[in-house]
Amino acid sequence: MPLTDIKCKNAKPSDRVQRLFDGGGLYLEVMISGARYWRMKYRHMGKEKRLAFGVYPEVTLSAARDARDDARALLRQGRDPAAEKKATKLRARIAADNTFKAIGNDWLQVCAPKWTPLQLKKETRRLENHAYPWIGDLPITEIGVAEIRPLLDRLVKAGHLEQAHRVREQLSRVFLHAAANEKGSRDPAKALEKYLPPRVYKRYPTITDPDKAAELLRAIDGFGGTFPVRCALRLAPLLFVRPGELRAAEWKEFDLSHRDGARWVIPPERRKLKKAQKEHPDAPAHFVPLAEQAIAIIRELEPLTGGGRRYLFPGARSAARPMSENTINASLRRLGFDKDAMTGHGFRHMASTMLNEMGFNKDAIERQLAHKEPGVGGIYNLAQHLPERRTMMQAWADHLDNLRAGNKVVPIHRKFAGRSR
């Protein structure tokens, strides 16, 4: 006689296991402890087998009957319900291990040894902020264009076009990593390569007009912030190194009494290089010849932050760390130069433009900017043109003094062209 909900509910344990049959092989097994389990007895390939459907009352009588009917349908097709159940669990476990987040994190671990800590942090945050919240828990094989497109649309609508392109490129790398490890077979992000609007390349805001440059230099001289920050602002146009190199400058890197002239030697590990290049035994340091004006500023600063301390420009909260990466830009804002007028990186563009107008050798300018050179030369040639660069850096400092003072500037390319070529 078929079971009813009342019979199932009122089934009492005894001193032995009881089986209450419903039909079609389904029965409720009542254990001595009182626990009640749904089971199904069936035969496949001549062998008697058992199949479990769960615990009563979490699995109701109706649900157990549905599971029995599904199992019997498989039997009619010649398939073993127990084997099918095991295969389904295995597929679910594999899918859980092969979510986009799991594959993405594995890709990050593979790439970590060849990345700098800063790059690893950026790549990780990009996935965590723009991919994982929406597709992180999906099996990577089930993600297609329809799942990826909204991620990119969201960034484009927010005005973050460059970030959208970077996210798409990063997603593509994760899909290719999955394919290489036989956990995926396609790259749906590739299909959206032409979907996004073209990148808009923008130069860093800078000032190249002599009169406006003079205003900037005079504003820096009148900066009312802390003395180390004021010194950093004064050195930025003189040295035109990358902002990260300037803010983390260390006293041990400066040699003010070198026989060939005072200089700042930026070691490879602090330069803008790939991790493998930074760690290459032949990777060169970057030499920054110091003009008299730069030397004077450094000597002014030394009593305050030198004397065995590490950084020229220590952080406001701790001398064990350099000043914040936003300090220079924030100081420029304080002086009245907004982000569309001038940035810390803009001093490099200002120097590059004006030095070319002054008639200096383009190669010497590029070396001083530490711009990447294609091929093997990009690793070994950065220390060339040093005598010429010393002349150039002093001429540049003198030129800035003239601008600041409002003096009539002699056409510089005539004055220095013969000296630099």
* CA 8 to chain CA mean position, Å: 58
Map out the domains of the chain as residue ranges. 5-93, 100-192, 210-420
Closest CA to 52 of 29, 34, 78: 29
Q: Give the whole-angstrom CA distance, residue 175 versus residue 181.
A: 10
Helices (H) and strands (E) in the chain, counts: 19, 7
| CB 54, CB 11: distance < 8 Å | no
Burial (Cβ within 10 Å: 0-12, 13-18, ≥19) of residue 19: exposed
- Please name the fold of domain 210-420: hpI Integrase; Chain A (1.10.443)
User: Which residue in the block uniquely carries the two structure tokens 């590490």?
Assistant: 310
Report pLDDT digits (tens) over 337-378.
Answer: 998 899 999 999 999 999 999 999 898 899 898 886 655 444
- What whole-number distance in Å separates Cα of residue 36 and Cα of residue 12? 10
Superfamily of chain region 5-93: Integrase, DNA-binding domain (3.30.160.390)
- How many angstroms separate the CA atoms of 397 and 262, rounded? 14
Per-residue pLDDT tens digits for 261-303: 999 999 888 887 776 666 667 778 889 999 999 999 999 999 9
Does residue 419 have a pLDDT over 60? Answer: no
DSSP result, 319-365: TTSBPPTTHHHHHHHHTT--TTT--TTHHHHHHHHHHHHTT--HHHH
Task: Output the pLDDT for position 94.
Answer: 64
In DSSP notation, 34-88 reads S-EEEEEEEEETTEEEEEEEEEETTS-HHHHHHHHHHHHHHHHTT--HHHHHHHH
Instruction: Give me the pLDDT at residue 118, please.
Output: 85
Considering only residues 32 and 116, tell me which one the structure prediction assigns the higher pLDDT: 32
Strands 18-23 and 26-30: antiparallel
Q: What is the pLDDT of residue 28?
A: 94
- Tell me the mean pLDDT in the region 176-199: 91
Residue 156 CA to residue 194 CA, distance in Å, equals 14
- ω before 314 within 30° of 0 (cis)? no
**Single-letter residue type at 220:** I
User: What is residue 117's predicted lDDT score, i.e. its pLDDT?
Assistant: 87
In this structure, the number of other CB atoms found within 10 A of the CB of residue 179 comes to: 14
Q: Which residues does 293 contact at the CB level (< 8 Å), separation at least 6? A: 238, 397, 400, 401
pLDDT tens-place string over residues 203-260: 778 998 999 999 999 999 999 999 999 999 999 999 999 999 999 999 999 999 999 8
| pLDDT of 410 over the 80 cut | no
Q: How far is CA 234 from the centre of its chain?
A: 31
Q: Distance between CA 255 and CA 262 in Å, rounded? A: 6
Distance CA 334, CA 226 (A): 13
Residue 416 is predicted with a pLDDT of 46
Helix 227-239, helix 327-334: angle, nearest 10: 100
Fold of 100-192: DNA polymerase; domain 1 (1.10.150)
What is the H or E stretch that residue 273 is in? Answer: none
pLDDT digits (tens, 9 = 90+) for 85-123: 888 777 766 666 789 999 999 999 999 988 888 889 999
In 10 A of CB 292, how many CB atoms?
Answer: 12
Residues recognised as catalytic: 242, 274, 345, 348, 371, 380
